[in-house]
Structure 1
Amino acid sequence: MKKLRKTLALTALSLVSGTVLVASPAHAEPAGTAGCPTPTKAEARRSADGKEDRPAKGVTALKGVRVGHLPKGFLAGQVVVNKLRGAVEYGYQWYDDRDEIDRKHRSLWVRVVCWPAAGKLSHLKKAPLDLGTFSGDDKTARIGGRTVLTKEGDGALGHGRYVGWVEREGVIVTVMASEPLVPELDEIVKGIRL
């Protein structure tokens, strides 16, 4: 997860340094993504600066998103904001202090992607994401009462399970749960409300 945090921070930093990142307030609705939670300017700055929250924020860490079931054991967290190719990513990562290659490492990443072209589950494979893409290894499953694409975590995502779904037109939600949290994934997914 440290690699993931570093990669996300560098991606956000390169975007900020190369272009002007203008983040809408959390209550704003970008064209084509009505009702999609978006980060505040302060959150975009915190993300670009790689600022960490100690202790981690709780179930309402993301404005406009409620994570109804948040497992215990997280010591820190970080907001993640990214804007690329017509999509705005807004997420939060909760994690403990174990090394990310430790199979007991606890981490959870919940992300909302505002992308006007998202309309059905198969669109996740075409979503303009740098990290956490869905390609050939994914499967359709029913988790937490939702039909999702799912795959094993690998590479920068770390170990565990990665899932994603289209919440509504223009709004994608993804969740990456590390291996110790996979048994709670059904409750985590079920508890996410926008």
Structure 2
Amino acid sequence: MNKIQKLAALSVLPVAAALLALPAQAAERPSCPVPSKAEAKRSFDAKSDKPPRGATAIKGLHVNHLPNGFTYGQVVVNKHDGITEYGYQWTDDRDDVDIRHRSLWVRVVCWPKAGSLAQLRNAPFDTGTFSGNTRTVKIGDRQVLTQKGDGALGHGRYAGWVERKGVVVTVMASQPLVPELTKIIKGIEL
């Protein structure tokens, strides 16, 4: 092998190393966190956690700002129409209709078609659709769609955004937690 061939072979090594590292990087950051079979079974069986799980209740997602005052928690998994909804709901002992009721629901939706905020208005979610009077706000570096919670969502504020292609995150905070909603959203890491 002459000098030019050796130099050409050596110059390819960094490129080859970078290409080999791509699958490892993709494994570190999965496209969308999915629930385990055990989590899906817990959701189906409607098992609750007392005390509730903490900031890492959803595998692959970290809630850095989790308010205090919750007594129960529950995994929520739903698969339908080619999407997987995976979340956790923290709640207190008060009745759902009590305006002081504290509830926080954080959900990751693996929806391959998701790519823009506008799509959330027509997303095929079973619960928590953006069908009301929505507005777009910037929270941190995220463009977030928000609306007043109503109906099945209860009182408070509902928010959602496309974290990256195919991955949607939604947050529902009951009325007492609305003042902390910006901190909650800023603190979510996927």
**What TM-score comes out, normalization by structure 2 length?**
0.83
Q: What's the RMSD between the two structures over aligned residues?
A: 1.6
**How much does 1:136 deviate?**
4.3
Residues 84-125 of structure 1: CA distance to partner in whole angstroms, max 9, x if unpaired?
A: 101100000000000011111000000000000000101111
**How much does 1:137 deviate?**
1.3
Distance in 1, matches of 2:91 and 2:61, equals 18
| Residue in 2 that maps onto 1:164 | 160
Gaps of 5+ in 2: 1-25
Counterpart contact for 1:52–1:77, Cα < 8 Å: yes
Counterpart contact for 1:143–1:185, Cα < 8 Å: no
What does 1:3-82 correspond to in 2, within 5 Å?
A: 35-82=31-78
Distance 1:144 1:160, change over 3 A: farther
1:155 lines up with 2:151 in the alignment: yes
Q: In terms of mean alpha carbon deviation, does 103-112 or 34-43 score higher?
A: 34-43
* Greater Rg over alpha carbons, structure: 2
Distance in 1, matches of 2:103 and 2:146, equals 17
Counterpart contact for 1:165–1:172, Cα < 8 Å: yes
| Residue in 2 that maps onto 1:132 | 128
**How much does 1:172 deviate?**
0.2
Q: Secondary structure at the match of 1:93?
A: strand
Q: Secondary structure at the match of 2:146?
A: strand
Would you identify which runs of 4 or more consecutive aligned residues in structure 1 move more than 2 Å?
none
| Residue in 2 that maps onto 1:84 | 80
What does 1:93-104 correspond to in 2, within 5 Å?
A: 93-104=89-100
Question: How many residues in Structure 1 have an aligned counterpart in Structure 2?
Answer: 164
Query: Identity of counterpart residues, as a percentage?
Result: 67
Distance in 2, matches of 1:76 and 1:139, equals 31
Counterpart contact for 1:44–1:81, Cα < 8 Å: yes
